[in-house]
Structures are given as structure tokens and as C-alpha cells.
């Protein structure tokens, strides 16, 4: 990639957090423990659903892939961030930066659509329980999942290609702890109006479509739950959605925080905090949410413990 002065950008410097050199050992320890918990929790969830035949249902099929996606986009960021905490030269190669953005963008976008697919599954299960086996067939589930991955890959490929097609100026210092589009485009001396427009269109469409599906589905689900005559029935129906609703609230809440704060240097640091929550902490919390607040997962864990001990 040529700069204006004819030199070539071969690497970027990730500046990370403000003042991280003063407390890098604390940050390294905290994020290392977070990543280990994320890796163990999501890998455990994937294996648990694969092993326990009682969890071979559409809801847990999507949950298994949600755990896989969480693990992938967290792994695209955290190991490199941990490495930069202990290295003097906090660099990432040009190709490495492209790959990081592509992988992160693919799985983060896929996450939105898998969450939407999960709420559609809950909508059919609660609002049309008699038709559930005929509607949520294995074929439909696979189609929804493949669609989620394809949209994620298409979104990431287009945005990554546009981001790295620009000319970069004197600086190669990215004011972030990973290769994100906005701080990379801030280094450009090309016209980035098209890049910003495409980014906003993709982000706007992905958020508007998936959030609309989730909100509309939950309106129908709530109406169906309120029509259930027995308290026990309402309670059971509510708890089948509680884990998903918690995960959705955390995911979209942190995502909104990231994209609504922009402009000033202070807002950039707040956006980094939002990125930490969205890309590092949520993948750690999701297995805990789905295991602690889900009776089927609790029973499966008890069964595994009995077999092992």
C-alpha cells in the first residue's frame, strides 16, 4: 500500500489504551483470565451440546454456533492484545491487520443474525407450539445458520476491502487495541466518504433488520405468554427466553454505546471501553448466562458430572 511520499505501509502500531504502559501487568492479567474463561466456557458449551442428546434441538443448535462465533471473534482480538501488553513494539503486520478485521467483522456480524434466528425459534416454540416440529426443521435451521455466516462474511469482505484500498499518510499508528475500521480510516489521506457511507449502510441495515426481528418476535412472545392461564406455564415460557433476552440486551446495548459515542478524544476512549465489553467480555458472559439461567443446560451438566464422578 503506497503512501503519498512513496513509502510502503508494511505494519501498523496499535496504541491500545491511554496510560496502559503504567498498568500493563494488571491489564494483562485481567484480560488473560477473561480470555481463558471465554475459551473454556464456550468450548465447554459446544462440547456439552454435542455430547448430550437432550440438547439436540433447534434452540441449542443455534446456541452451539453462538458459542463458536463468540469464541472466534474474541480470539481474533484478545491474543494479539495480550501480546502487545508485554511487547515493547506493539505492532501488527499489514496483512495481519486485514485478517484480524476480516475475521472479527465476519463473526461479529454473524452473531447479530444468529441471535435473531434464536428469537425466531423461541417465537415459533411459544406462539405456534403445535407447528414447531414442522416449521423449525433441520433444513430451515441450517439455512438460517448458513445465511448468518454468509451475510457476516459478505459484510466483512466488502468493508475490509474498502478500508485497505485507501492511501495512508505519514502515521501508521492506530488509536485502538485492535484493527477496527474507524481508527484505520482516520489514518487515510484519501477521500473516505464512500468508505464511511458503506460502513454506515451495512451497520445500519444489520442493526435495523436484526433488532426489528428481535423486537417484533418478543412482542408476539410476550402477548402469547400473557394469554397462558397457569402461573407455572407463564413462568416456564418466560424462563425459556430469559437467557436469550439477557444476552441480546448486553450485546446490542454495548454495540449501541460504541456507535453512538464518537467525535472527541474522550469519546474515543469510551468507545474502546465499549469495544472491550462487546468483543471481550460478552463472549465470556454468554456461556455463564446460558448455563446459570437455563434448566436444560443445568440438567445436562449434572448428567456429565454423574458420569465423570
Going residue by residue through the chain, which has 309 residues, state the pLDDT in tens, using 9 for 90 and above: 444 443 467 889 988 887 677 778 888 999 999 999 999 999 999 999 998 888 899 999 999 999 999 999 999 999 999 998 888 788 899 999 999 999 999 999 999 999 999 999 999 999 998 899 999 999 999 999 999 999 999 999 999 999 998 888 768 888 888 998 888 888 888 888 888 898 889 988 999 999 999 999 999 999 988 888 887 778 877 777 888 888 898 888 887 777 665 555 556 777 788 888 888 999 999 988 887 767 777 777 777 777 776
Q: How many CB atoms lie within 10 A of CB 7?
A: 12
Provide long-range contacts, Cβ within 8 A and 24+ apart, for 297-302. 297/45, 297/48, 297/55, 299/54, 300/48, 300/52, 300/54, 300/55, 301/48
CA angle in degrees (0–180, nearest 5) for 35-254-37: 15
The answer for residues whose C-beta is within 8 angstroms of residue 71's C-beta and 6 or more apart is 38, 39, 42, 43, 46, 283
Task: Give the DSSP letter of residue 293.
Answer: S
pTM for this model (two decimals): 0.89
Which set of grid coordinates corresponds to residue 126? 411459544
Rounded Cα distance, 201 and 224, in Å: 34
Which set of grid coordinates corresponds to residue 80? 494479539
Please give the pLDDT value at position 259: 65
For the chain, the maximum distance between any two Cα atoms, rounded to a whole number of angstroms, is 74
Rounded Cα distance, 94 and 103, in Å: 14
Q: Cα separations (Å) of 93 from 128, 178, 303, 309?
A: 52, 12, 46, 47
Residue showing cell 495512508? 168
Amino acid at each position: 500500500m503506497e503512501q503519498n511520499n512513496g513509502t510502503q505501509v508494511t505494519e501498523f502500531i496499535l496504541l491500545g489504551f491511554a496510560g496502559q504502559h503504567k498498568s500493563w501487568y494488571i491489564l494483562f492479567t485481567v484480560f488473560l483470565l477473561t480470555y481463558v474463561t471465554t475459551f473454556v466456557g464456550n468450548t465447554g458449551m459446544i462440547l456439552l451440546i454435542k455430547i448430550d442428546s437432550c440438547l439436540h434441538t433447534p434452540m441449542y443448535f443455534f446456541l452451539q454456533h453462538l458459542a463458536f462465533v463468540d469464541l472466534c471473534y474474541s480470539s481474533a482480538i484478545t491474543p494479539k492484545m495480550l501480546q502487545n501488553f508485554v511487547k515493547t513494539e506493539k505492532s501488527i503486520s499489514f496483512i495481519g491487520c486485514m485478517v484480524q478485521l476480516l475475521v472479527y467483522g465476519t463473526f461479529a456480524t454473524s452473531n447479530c443474525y444468529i441471535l435473531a434466528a434464536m428469537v425466531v425459534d423461541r417465537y415459533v416454540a411459544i406462539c405456534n407450539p403445535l407447528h414447531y416440529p414442522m416449521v423449525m426443521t433441520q433444513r430451515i435451521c441450517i439455512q438460517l445458520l448458513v445465511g448468518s455466516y454468509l451475510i457476516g462474511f459478505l459484510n466483512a469482505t466488502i468493508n475490509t476491502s474498502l478500508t485497505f484500498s485507501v492511501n495512508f499518510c505519514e502515521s501508521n499508528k492506530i488509536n485502538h487495541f485492535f484493527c477496527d475500521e474507524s481508527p484505520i480510516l482516520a489514518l487515510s489521506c484519501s477521500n473516505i466518504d464512500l468508505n464511511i457511507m458503506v460502513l454506515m449502510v451495512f451497520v445500519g441495515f444489520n442493526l435495523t433488520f436484526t433488532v426489528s426481528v428481535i423486537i417484533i418476535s418478543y412482542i408476539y412472545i410476550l402477548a402469547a405468554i400473557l394469554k397462558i392461564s397457569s402461573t407455572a406455564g407463564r413462568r416456564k415460557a418466560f424462563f425459556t427466553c430469559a437467557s436469550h433476552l439477557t444476552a441480546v440486551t448486553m450485546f446490542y446495548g454495548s454495540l449501541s454505546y460504541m456507535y453512538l459515542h464518537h467525535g472527541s478524544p474522550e469519546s474515543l476512549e469510551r468507545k474502546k471501553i465499549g469495544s472491550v465489553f462487546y468483543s471481550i467480555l460478552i463472549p465470556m458472559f454468554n456461556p455463564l448466562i446460558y448455563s446459570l439461567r437455563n434448566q436444560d443446560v443445568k440438567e445436562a451438566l449434572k448428567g456429565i458430572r454423574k458420569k465423570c464422578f
